[in-house]
Amino acid sequence: MDFVTLLQILDSTLRLATPLLLACLAGLFSERAGIFDIGLEGKMLAAAFLSAAVAAVSGNVWVGLLAGIAASMALSIIHGLASITFRGNQLISGVAINFLAAGITVLVSQSWFKQGGRTPSLEGPARFESWTLPLANTLEPIPILGPIYKELISGHTPLVYVALLAVPFTWYVLFRTRFGLRLRAVGENPAAVDTAGVSVVGLRYAAVAICGVLCGIAGAYLATGLQAGFVKDMSAGRGFIALAALIFAKWRPWYALWACLLFGLFSAIETRPDVIEALIGVKVQVQLLGALPYIMTVVILAGFVGKAIPPRAGGEPYVKER
């Protein structure tokens, strides 16, 4: 495999890891606060649809992004109501949200655009453009580092950088602020937070809301950055892979980055059967490659995270007890 191919693969790794990373960090906030969220998938899908729809109509991708966040947030509120206010089963709520998004995106896009459940293709300012970082072209002639800077680091849509910056941001919020301390505490022992005079409900809603924002960005990136428009079921299990990455990362932000890059890499080589063939010397069927990220998820969950301890109060609605 030559250097250019490697750069191409790493470049698409980064692009494909971006939605995973955003969703993974979204899940991290939620689960660190004790709210399991298997509805990441649905929130991404809803955000992907609404961002693409609004971007298509308004011609402004930033407005589309906001709409995507709003869509994801609406589902977050439902999840919050079910799992915080009414103390329902968080897994079931997540499943419902996934189906709700899967159904309603098609219903509404059909009603609005009449294109068989897709939005019109996005062009120009209705789509996120790549940013060329300063000096990318100037530095290109430098061997190795030049192309790495130009191809791999520069030339992505803004949301890729947002995702990358979200990692240190998440780390800082979680481990260096009052809010982070309380958030982690509420996921470990909500009774400790409650008796310390802090609202468990308020904290958990805040976490679920942050989760909504990040999922919204992830979904918007899918439809307006990675691709040019919404198509039915376009999240294609990414929300679940993000969830697997979260478990693999043991609910830590920096580990989440590496986990998502790893899963991004699986997706990147999935589209390059030639590379795989060159690497392992056997021709691999395209259907099996399609299943690769899912198989790897299962393998990783089965093999390496036996000792991952989720937040102790995760999945349990908080009921006051003496």
Ranges within 16-55 binding other proteins (CB under 8 A): 38
Phi, psi for 211 (deg, rounded to 5):
-60, -40
Quick check: 168 binds other proteins (CB under 8 A)? no
Q: Which residues lie closer than 8 Å to 183 by C-beta, 6 or more apart?
A: 29, 32, 33, 174, 203, 206, 207
Torsion sign across C-alpha atoms 253, 257, 262, 264:
positive
Q: Which residue's entry shows tokens 């301890």?
A: 309
Residue 284 interacting with other proteins (CB under 8 A): no
Pick from 87, 318, 310: nearest CA to 195: 318
Rounded Cα distance between 294 and 247, Å, is: 14
**Residue 156 β-bridge partners:** 131
Q: Can you tell me the distance from the alpha carbon of 297 to that of 128, in angstroms, rounded to the nearest whole number?
A: 30
Q: Which of 153, 192, 209, 276 binds other proteins (CB under 8 A)?
A: 192
Among positions 9, 10, 63, 104, the unique one binding other proteins when judged by CB under 8 A: 104
Q: Which of 2, 134, 144, 287 binds other proteins (CB under 8 A)?
A: 287
Residue 282 in tokens: 């056997």
Q: At closest approach, how far in Å is the CB of 317 from other proteins?
A: 9
- 218 to 257: interface string for other proteins, x by CB under 8 A: -------------------x--x--xx--x----------
For the bound state, the minimum distance from the C-beta of residue 189 to other proteins, rounded and expressed in Å, comes to: 5
User: Measured in whole angstroms, how far is the alpha carbon of residue 167 from the centre of its chain?
Assistant: 12
Under the binding rule (CB under 8 A), the answer on residue 259 touching other proteins is no
CA–CA gap between residue 44 and residue 173 (Å, rounded):
23
- Asked whether position 83 contacts other proteins by CB under 8 A, the answer is yes
Q: Is 100 in the site for other proteins (CB under 8 A)?
A: yes
Q: From the list 11, 115, 301, 316, which residue makes contact with other proteins (rule: CB under 8 A)? A: 301
Q: State in angstroms the smallest separation of the CB of 158 from other proteins.
A: 27
Find the shortest distance in angstroms from Cβ 66 to other proteins: 21
Do residues 72 and 219 make contact, with C-beta atoms less than 8 angstroms apart? yes
Q: Which amino acid is at 290?
A: G
Residue 261 tokens, joined: 């890059």
Map residues 122-161 to x or -, x wherever contact with other proteins holds by CB under 8 A: ----------------------------------------
> What is the nearest approach in angstroms of other proteins to the Cβ of residue 69?
21
- CB nearer to other proteins: give 6 or 288: 288
Cα–Cα distance measured from residue 128 to residue 220, given in angstroms and rounded to the nearest whole number: 10
Per the CB < 8 A criterion, the answer to whether 38 and 93 are in contact is no
Site membership for other proteins, residue 209 (CB under 8 A): no
CB 18 within 8 A of CB 163: yes
DSSP state at residue 18: H
Least Å from the CB of residue 131 to other proteins? 31
Q: Is the Cβ of residue 40 or residue 126 nearer to other proteins in the bound state?
A: 40
CB of 259 to other proteins, least distance (A): 14
* Residue span binding other proteins (CB under 8 A) among the ranges 61-69, 106-114, 121-129, 162-170: 106-114
> Residue 258, interface with other proteins (CB under 8 A)?
no
Q: Which is nearer to other proteins, 18 or 98 (CB)?
A: 98
